[in-house]
Amino acid sequence: MANTIIDIHPPPAEPVFVNYWALDNAEAGIVSSPIIQCKQLNHVYSGKAALTNVNFELDAGEPIGLVGPNGAGKTTLLNILSGFLHPTSGTVLVFDHPPGATQLIGKISALPQDARLDASFTLTERLILYARLQGFSSQYANLEASRVLEIFALKDAAHEKPLALSHGMAKRAAIAQALIGKPALILLDEPTAGLGPVNARIVRSIIAEQSSETTFIISSHNLIELDRLCQEILLLENGVLQTEKLRINEKQVSSRFITLQMENCPASEVLAKFSAFEGVLQVTNPQKNEFIVAYNPNLQPSMDLQLMHCIRANHWQYRQLNHGKTLEEKLFPSDSQRP
């Protein structure tokens, strides 16, 4: 059932959103089914396979990353999930309904990478239009437009038309459309492409803040960004979902990883010093000033402290220490990290 505005007496100062799908499952004590189910999904364009036997299930929760090279099938998958495209074969369910079903109105929204703002509408007029199309009354459409403008720090530009906006502001306004009505699922295709660091950070922060109520699926080539936002990743290569590749370097519970970003340092000396610690299984240097330490936590539970002491004793400088591998190294390991 779609998100609904409930009127009570006296009327509230702003609309009250009720996600009946969540209420029916969580509050009733029923185990929720996956929000997305894809089984043997295939899609073919003019005889060329864009997706081949794609199978996965996704639960509501933290943002989910969709990764793959150009032409891997990411946009095709998003188009199918949002109901813009019918698959050649296979089964797809979103909240237990086929994509495009009327039951999904207000529950799912999507923002294509090349989304454009209509130059004839102000931001407020455009957002009100989108809210009215979802069934909001005129009063609540205005309130909803104001709500999403405030989330994206665009209240001062509410009555501006797109041509008066910077690229960053226009991109934030486009993403704001996707939040109209507090949908339970939002599909974003390259939401920060072309944005500067400040605007990209604003968008990341908003996604993180909204993820307590909304599940985001984010297609992006920016692996650093996805590493910060996502707990789960879907990797597509040539239309095939690579399920094992995501776990292959982390599947051994007896080993853990620390990734160090160093300032300019003597790589051979760093490798030798780190490798000498008890419990270290392997130290690699996949790229300049980056070191990945694989170790056995049972033998050395405080490996991070040992590394920091070593760095300090040798008067080296470091930029960052992270537990685990970077997403880039998980998905595309260097030759020395391959099993």
Q: What is the mean pLDDT of the chain?
A: 83
Q: How far apart are the first and last CA of the chain?
A: 47
- Hey, do 36-241 and 256-337 end up sharing a CATH topology, with the first three levels equal? no
Domain spans of the chain, in order of start: 36-241, 256-337
Predicted confidence band of residue 98 (pLDDT cuts 50, 70, 90):
very high
pLDDT of residue 43 exceeding 80: yes
Mean pLDDT of 230-234: 86
Closest CA to 81 of 97, 64, 69: 97
Residue closest to 50 by CA, chosen among 87, 102, 92, 94: 87
Statement: residue 250 has pLDDT above 80: no
Strands (DSSP E) found in 165-212 = 185-189
The structure tokens listed for 307 are 């590394």
36 strand-pairing partners? 58, 94
How confident is the model over 99-120, as a mean pLDDT? 88
- The string of pLDDT tens digits covering residues 282-335 is 899 988 999 989 888 888 889 999 999 999 999 999 888 887 766 666 666 665
What kind of fold does domain 256-337 have according to CATH?
A: Alpha-Beta Plaits (3.30.70)
Q: Report pLDDT for 141.
A: 94
Adjacent-strand bridge partners of 64 = 217, 232
Distance CA 286, CA 295 (A): 17
Q: Dig out the tokens for 41 from the structure.
A: 């999904």
Higher pLDDT, 163 or 328: 163
Cα 265 to the chain's mean position, in Å? 34
Q: pLDDT-derived band of residue 19, with 50, 70 and 90 as boundaries? A: very low
More confident residue, 297 or 140: 140
Please give the average per-residue pLDDT across 268-276, as a whole number.
94
| CATH number of this structure's domain 36-241 | 3.40.50.300
Q: What is the mean pLDDT of residues 178-197?
A: 90
Name the β-bridge partners of 49: 44
Mean pLDDT of 213-239: 87
Q: What is the pLDDT of residue 286?
A: 85
Contact status, residue 111 vs residue 178, Cβ threshold 8 Å: yes
For the entire predicted model, the pTM comes to 0.70
Query: Hunting for tokens 């507090």 — which residue is that?
Result: 182
Structure tokens at 24: 């029916």
